[in-house]
Structure 1
Amino acid sequence: MKIIRYILLPVVPIYYLVTWLRNTLYDLGIKKSVSYDFPVICVGNLSVGGTGKTPMIEYLVNLLKDEHNIATLSRGYKRKTKGFQLANETSTVETLGDEPFQFYNKFKDDILVAVDANRRNGVENLKSLENAPKVVLLDDAYQHRKVKAGFNILLTTYSNPYFKDLVLPTGDLREPRNGAKRASIVVVTKCPESLSDSEKADIINHINPEAYQHVFFSSIGYSEIVFSNDKTLNIEKLNRFTLVTGIANSTPLVKFLKDKKLDFEHLNFKDHYNFTSGDIDELCKKDLILTTEKDYMRLKQYMSLKAKLFYLPIQVVIDDNLKFNKLIQDFVRRS
C-alpha cells in the first residue's frame, strides 16, 4: 500500500490544486455557504481515518443536552438508505450507519439524531420539524462547506498530526493544511497521558494558531466496566476472550488491554466493516467476545452472539476542560 502511495506522488499537486481552488471559491463567496441564526457546531478533521470524532460529539452532547434541544447530523456512512433520515424506534444500523445509531442508542431520550449526506438539506429538514433543535452538531462535516458552521472543532491525532502530513493520495489529508485556519478550536487527540508541557508547546508551535484559535490536547479514557445486552462486568474479570475491532486505529485499545495483562486474541477488520455471515459463523465459535461500542452496534443484532458479546465504552478526556467547555457554552449562548 505504501509503495502505491509513493507511485501516486505525481498526483498530489493535482489533488492539492483542486481542493485548494474549491476552498478558495468558498472563501471568496463565489461558491455559496449557508449560515444559520442558531448555533451550528462542526466536528471534523483534515485527514481520512479515525481522529476521535464520535467521542467528541458525545462529549458535546453531554455538555449541552441538559440546557439545550440538540440534534446530531451525520452522513450515515455505509447505511443502506438515502437522503434525510430521522432516527426513531424502528431505526437500525442499516438505516442510520453505525455511529449515528450509537448516538441514538445512547441519547435517544435527550436529543434528535439525523443523517443526510447533504448537510444543508439535513439542517433544513431539522429546522422544519415541530420540535426543531436549537443546536445542531455536525459530525464529520469539515469539508462540507455548503453549510457554514458558526463554530468549527478540528481534530488531529498526536501520532499523525496534519502539519506533518500530505494531501491524498500519497498522504492522508483531504485538503491542504491551511484548511486548519477555518477552525475555532484545534484538538490534538489520542495523546499519551505522559505528554509533557514542552512537547505540547512544540506541537502548538507547529500548529501556529491564529489569534482567534485555541489549541487543546485530549486522550482516550477507557471504562473499567464492559457492557452486554443485560449485564456488566469489571474488565479485570474477563477471562480469555476475542477482541473484535472494525475501527480506523485499534492500537490504543490493544495497548490498554495488554497493559492490564489480559489474555486475548485480536480479530482486526477495516473501519466501518460490514460483518458477513461467514464472519458471524466464526465468531459464534468463540467463548467470549469484546468489541468497541461502534462495532457492538453492528454485532448486537445477531442473537447467536447475544450471550457472549460485550463492548468497552470510551470517552474523550480534555486537558483544561473547563476552558474548553466555556468556549463551547459561550458560543451557544451568544448564538
Structure 2
Amino acid sequence: MIKFIRWLLFPFSILYAAVVLLRNWAYDNQLYNSTSFHFPVIVIGNLSVGGTGKSPMTEYVLRLIKPRLNVAVLSRGYGRKTKGFRYVDVHDSAKLVGDEPLQIKRKFPDVMVTVCEDRVHGIQRIQDQIDAVLLDDAYQHRKLRPSFSILLLDYESLQHPVIPLPTGNFRELLLGCKRADVIVITKCPKKISAQMRFSIESRLRKYTLAPIFYTKIAYKRLQTTDGLLLHEAQLQDTCAVVVTGIAKPQPLLSHLEPQLKKIIHLSFADHHHFSRGDLHKITQTLQQIDDPQKVIITTEKDMQRLPSSFIAQHPVYFIPIEQAFLFDQASTFENIVIRACASK
C-alpha cells in the first residue's frame, strides 16, 4: 500500500528533481554564493536518504587525518531536539546532539565534535581552533564549498532505477556525482563480478571521472559499553532480541541470523528516540524468550539512544562496524585523502 501511494506521488518526484537541478545549476554558475575556507574542508555525503554508511566512513577518514592535523567533526546532528551550534560532550544525550555525533565523540574523546544546521556558521565558530574540518552528510549543503568531497553510493541502490523523493529515496539524480572527488560504493557483497563492476562504473562514468572505490561492512565482535565481549563460541546457544533504529537493518540481520540460535527483530525508524513504551516492549520481548541464554543486540548508533539505566538493567550488546575496502583499494583511497589534506 505504501509503495502504491509513493508511486501516486511520482509527479512530485519529477517536480522535486527539477527544483534540485535548477538549484544546483544556480550554484554551479555562481548565481548563488558558496563559502570556502583556507584549510581542508572534507565533506562526506550521499545522493540517497540514509543507509549508505556515512558514520563508519567518517570514522575511517577521521582515523586517517587525526594523526596529521588538528581536525574537528561538524555534523548537522540529525534527530536532536536542540537547534543551533553546540559542542558535543561525551556525557551529552542523543536528544541534545544527535546519535551519530555522540557516537563519534565517545569513540574519539580528544577530537572536537560539534553540531550545527548551518555548516558555514558552524565552521566559522571553530575555524581559529582547528587545522581541518570533517563534515558528515553535507553533500547537498551547497552554501559551503568543500575542498574535497567523498560521495557514498550503496551497492543495492545502484541495482535499481534512481528515482527522486517522494517516490524514490534519492535526494538528487546521478548527475550530482560530478561534484565528487571520489566515489565509494558501500555495503557491497563479498564478491563482485567484473561484469557488475563494469556495469556500475559505466553508469557513473556518464557523469564523473572521479576514482571509484568499493567497500563492504566489516562487523566486529559484540560488546557491552564496558567493553565486555560476547564470545563467538557462545552465539550458537544464544537467543537475541535485535533492536534497530537504522535506515537499512537487513545487512545486520543477515550477518547475525546464521550465528545465533534465535532472533526476534524489533524495528524502529531511523534515529528513533526510544520511549518508555518502547523500552517496556523490548524488556517484555526478552522476558518472553524461554531460554536462559538470551541477550539484547543493537547497533552502535542505537546504543547512543538507549538510556544508561536501561543498559545497566539488561544484557545489552552492540556490534561495531567498519568500512573494509575491496580489491586492495585501501592504500590508494588513503593516499588520495592525505594528499587532499596536504594540498590545501
Structure 2 length-normalised TM:
0.92
The within-5 A match list for 1:15-54 is: 15-54=16-55
RMSD of Structure 2 on Structure 1 (CA): 1.7
- 1:136 is displaced (CA, Å) by 0.7
Which residue of structure 2 aligns with residue 247 of structure 1? 246
1:327 aligns with 2:331: no
Which residue of structure 2 aligns with residue 115 of structure 1? 115
**Superposed CA offset, 1:13-63 (max 9, x none):** 211111111111100111000111111110001111211100000000111
Aligned mates of 1:211, 1:165 — CA distance in 2: 16
- 1:226 is displaced (CA, Å) by 2.5
Which residue of structure 2 aligns with residue 77 of structure 1? 78
Question: Counterpart amino acid of 1:37?
Answer: H
Question: Counterpart amino acid of 1:253?
Answer: L
Other structure's SS at 2:248 match: coil
Counterpart selection for 1:294 from 294, 297, 301: 301
Question: Counterpart amino acid of 1:119?
Answer: R
Counterpart selection for 2:135 from 128, 138, 142: 138
**Number of residues of Structure 1 aligned to a counterpart in Structure 2:** 331
Aligned mates of 2:159, 2:43 — CA distance in 1: 18
**Superposed CA offset, 1:112-166 (max 9, x none):** 10100100111101114xxx12111111000001111111111111111298311
Other structure's SS at 1:233 match: coil
Please say which of residues 74-83 and 171-180 is displaced more in the overlay: 171-180
Please say which of residues 43-52 and 231-240 is displaced more in the overlay: 231-240
Counterpart selection for 2:325 from 290, 293, 318: 318
Q: Percent identity?
A: 37
Question: Counterpart amino acid of 1:288?
Answer: V
Question: Counterpart amino acid of 2:126?
Answer: L
Aligned mates of 1:54, 1:262 — CA distance in 2: 29
- 1:257 is displaced (CA, Å) by 0.8
Does the aligned pair in 1 maintain the 2:219–2:321 contact within 8 Å?
yes
Aligned mates of 2:270, 2:89 — CA distance in 1: 25
Other structure's SS at 1:180 match: helix
**Superposed CA offset, 1:205-236 (max 9, x none):** 11116675110011000013423335222244
Aligned mates of 2:313, 2:319 — CA distance in 1: 15
Which residue of structure 2 aligns with residue 237 of structure 1? 234
**Superposed CA offset, 1:155-192 (max 9, x none):** 11111129831111122111232111000111111000
Distance 1:75 1:162, change over 3 A: farther
Other structure's SS at 1:288 match: strand
Aligned mates of 1:150, 1:75 — CA distance in 2: 19
Other structure's SS at 1:17 match: helix
Does the aligned pair in 2 maintain the 1:244–1:289 contact within 8 Å?
yes
Other structure's SS at 1:242 match: strand
Aligned mates of 1:56, 1:304 — CA distance in 2: 27
Aligned mates of 2:250, 2:233 — CA distance in 1: 20
Distance 1:318 1:230, change over 3 A: closer
Which residue of structure 2 aligns with residue 159 of structure 1? 156
**Superposed CA offset, 1:66-125 (max 9, x none):** 12111111110111211000112442212110000000010012x110100100111101
Does the aligned pair in 2 maintain the 1:151–1:184 contact within 8 Å?
yes
Aligned mates of 2:173, 2:165 — CA distance in 1: 9
Structure 1 length-normalised TM:
0.94
Does the aligned pair in 1 maintain the 2:177–2:207 contact within 8 Å?
no
Distance 1:270 1:181, change over 3 A: same
Question: Counterpart amino acid of 1:60?
Answer: V
Other structure's SS at 1:164 match: coil
Distance 1:180 1:75, change over 3 A: same
Which residue of structure 2 aligns with residue 86 of structure 1? 87
Aligned mates of 2:261, 2:185 — CA distance in 1: 29
Distance 1:68 1:92, change over 3 A: same
